[in-house]
Chains A and B, each alone.
Chain A
Amino acid sequence: MHIAVILKQVPDLVEDVEVDASGIDIDRDRVAWKLSEFDDHALEQAVLLKEGGGVEVTALALDAAGVDQLLYSALARGADRAQKVPTPDRRTDAPRAAAALAPVLRGMGVDLVLTGVQAADDLNGQLGPILATTLGWPHVSVVSGVQLAGAAAQVQQEYSGGRMATLEITLPAVLGVQAAARPPRYVPISRLRQVTASAQIVSAPLAAEAAPLSTAVSCLAASEQGSRAHMLEGEPEEIAEQIVDVLRERGFVGARG
């Protein structure tokens, strides 16, 4: 059983994300990149399935800034192989990523593809369904559980309201993972260093040019929708006082005395 995990880096939202001079993109130089949270879960889920036995995991990522470190840490996490996939113009939006990844995946003999259900910047659609449809494979997103069952996989798809469906999907297939069975594990730095020193990352051949998108960003700006909250200032004691006053005004707390 061969599982492929598609990984991508997104801006770390702990840091500020600034718009660059062009006004239509983020300032990619000043941004701290980190593995997309849901891709992290997808990788963890793949490694968990590998620990069940009889499974090999290949980590793939588009060739973008920091891709080497990304793939080394995937190997340190438990992936067996890592592969970089170049795109003609280094664009990493989902449609172009799918176009670059599909031939590679077809050539690799993959049974299951896991990737994050979405990413913080996938304005042009989520990778899972786009990749699956390009490959002609079935797909399920918002997956929070995966069990392998021979030529098929059983997956849990989350709906709103705490409801969940269990679906059985014939392989090969693509899953958009929301949560792994366990939170992503920590990798000791020493293992990461050893892997970085010893492992090899293969590079796939350059894919054919993908069709340009007929959609473009015309403006990127800080979000300002709706009216802002009335901000409370002061020492914690004072703020607590003000909050209790507001609550009392609205009848949530009894009158004083």
Chain B
Amino acid sequence: MTPSTIALLVLLVVTFAWSGYRYWRVLRPLTHAAAEDRFDQPLRRVWGVITNVGGHTRLLRIRYAGVFHLLIFSGFVVLLTALVEEFGRGLFPGFSLAAIGGDTWIALLQDIFELLVLVGLAMAAYNRYVSRPERFRGSNQRDATIILILILSEMASLLLRHTFQIAEGHDPSAAWSPVSSALAGLAGTVGLHGAAAQPWAEVFYWTHILAILIFLPYIPTSKHLHIFVGIPNIYFRDLGPRGTLPDADLSQPSVGVKDVHQLGWKQMLDLFACTECGRCQDVCPAFAAGQPLSPKLLIMDLRNHLREQEGIGPRPTAAGGSQMLGDAISDDTLWACTTCRACMEVCPLHIEHIPKIVDMRRQLVEQGRMEHQLQDSLASLARYGNSFNQSERLRSRWTRELGFTIKDARKEPVDVLWFVGDFASYDPRVQRLTRSVARVMTRAGVDFGILYEGERNSGNDVRRVGEEGLFEMLAQHNIETLKGCQFKRIMTTDPHSLNAIGQEYPRLGGNYPVLHYTQLLVELLERGDLKPNREQEIVATYHDPCYLGRYNNGYFAPRRVLELLGIKLHEMPRCRENSFCCGAGGGRIWMDDGEIKERPSENRIREAVSLGDARYFVVACPKDAVMYTAAVQSLGMEGRIEVVDAIELVEAALEPEVAPVAVA
């Protein structure tokens, strides 16, 4: 054994031992974490890894960053061969990959990709130090710099090693290594060829080895851990329906999560997978409003807290020092979330921010750590089944001005059972839209009925606030009422109710086909039950509600309605799955606004107005109608854009009802 072999062996053993210990310290909490069942549907899971990792689907949504990441990533994959070669040669003299093309096409690929990685690094450095995107605000810049430097060292030393090997003159892969050969030529011009090149080859060999051996133990407490954790994290992602939250066992004395060790293993794995890229932060409406929530910082803070608890990381403190709930993550941070799901939609590593937030909220609710307006709303929901502190009897008061009676679905069978929703029933600003829906459906001849006082708040946002017991109480009441009814399907004007009934009620025994009213409108329009006058020269923009769009894939129906009305749709930049939340979800509408820079709803209206030609801002959710109308008023833009619900456009396009003419 040569001295260098022994040296390499010793280095390897020491590094692996030291790294192994560090990886173990960092990842050990996973072994004690709560169970989670993510072992189903392996083929589907693998496919997700292939598209997300191989295809870089989410990463490429930010084109520039996706491209340079792809360069660096694919470089790493290809250069694994170089890793094998370098260590193989170092430990086993004579080791070579020549038999499988190590001197030919593998060498070519290595050469090209070394260059590509360097290009990628240059692009990355430009991004981080010159462009400085906002999403990096709060991310650990030092960690990022160290990583870029280490990658640069690896690439540069690898390339230079090949260069000087070729310059030495005995490298069989020279013909297949254009970049290294060119550099070798350059080296030759300063006399570094032949024997003079050999020591440099050695130097860069050891530089490369050292770079790797320094990187390896650095990774566990760096965001670069994602290279190991990322693929498992994507594999074990949540395949369940988007609109459900993790179950809570109410028979236990306590629900929710207040200590980081109560997290399930996949929830914890998320913390190690985060690359601090900030895509989630960029799309978060709470963050944009200046509230103390950034999904990225939430994950980073949880990760840092876990490290602290384990006594490892930048600033290890004694275990059991600060609390997760309240110290590491503040109450205000948790309450600021609207549960719009934009963060989870864009995260390249499929990190699950919302389940963690809701699980922590469950503890806050249990401990009574809620602002009083929220407490009052919950008390109202518990007592009256609505958040308006109004009697159940008044739920159907909006029907009085209709001039006709709507069927009581509790008493007679109907084709469509219309679950009206709280805001549509009680809020005077929305009641006129509800009446519009009633009139249009009657004109179309739909056989529908409502539950009158039998309806309660669907419980969707109560669940998102973390009050599981109240959610179950409301849901069970609604399901009991529905059990006594005969209908073919449920229709609702409220996407939050849609989500609750369609996604959350099944596990409580309520399995009903449910559709959004825009979907019903498409049916009625396409079938000819509604005949709109299509001669309208209107340009409108449409806002995708979070719980219809992202949560329930309801992008098509509202757009089809507009199309069938002959309305020209001018999409906003943030549309479909990138829609920007109005700020009312997750129980936020029951909370005080607090200190905000700019309301998300106002941010959104300005986006719509900047389109230039959109006369109408079309909504399909009662809370959106309320929030955006208020935003237009507070921005003083009444003349520039008008908030209309899809149903208003439909009704306006119908021929006025013709009264029977008396024969003279």
Contact = CB atoms under 8 A, between A and B. Distances in A.
Tell me if chain B binds chain A. yes
Interface of A: 12, 14-15, 32, 34, 183, 185-186, 188-194
B391 A14 contact: yes
B368 A14 contact: no
A191 B384 CA distance: 19
Contact of B255 (A12, A32, A190): A190
10 contacts: A14-B391, A15-B393, A183-B375, A185-B368, A186-B370, A188-B470, A189-B473, A191-B366, A193-B250, A194-B253
Contacts of B368: 185-186
* Chain B interface helix/strand/loop/mixed: helix
B372 to A, nearest CB: 6
A190 B250 contact: yes
B467 interface: yes
Contacts of B468: 190
Contacts of B382: 189
A183 B365 CA distance: 16
A14 B368 CA distance: 25
Interface in B366-414: 366, 368, 370, 372, 375-376, 378-379, 382-384, 389-391, 393
B469 interface: yes
Given A183-B372, A188-B365, A189-B473, A14 B384 contact: yes
A12 B469 CA distance: 23
Contacts of B469: 188-193
Contacts of B372: 183
A210 to B, nearest CB: 33
A195 B375 CA distance: 20
B467 A189 contact: yes
A50 to B, nearest CB: 14
B391 A15 contact: yes
Given A15-B391, A194-B253, 5 more contacts: A14-B384, A189-B470, A190-B366, A190-B469, A193-B469
B383 A186 contact: no
A34 B366 CA distance: 23
A46 B437 CA distance: 50
B175 to A, nearest CB: 73
Contact of B390 (A14, A183, A185, A188): A14
A195 B513 CA distance: 36
Given A34-B383, A194-B253, A188 B467 contact: yes
Interface string B467-510: 11110110000000000000000000000000000000000000
Contacts of B389: 14
Nearest to B390: A14
A14 to B, nearest CB: 5
A163 B255 CA distance: 45
Contacts of A185: 368, 375
A14 B391 CA distance: 6
A34 B370 CA distance: 23
A191 B382 CA distance: 13
A186 B393 CA distance: 24
Nearest to A197: B251
Contacts of A14: 384, 389-391
Interface string B444-470: 000000000000000000000001111
Contacts of A190: 250, 255, 366, 468-469
Nearest to A236: B428
Contacts of A12: 383
Nearest to B367: A188
Q: Taking each of B378, B390, B469, which has the highest tally of chain A beta carbons within 10 Å of its own beta carbon?
A: B469
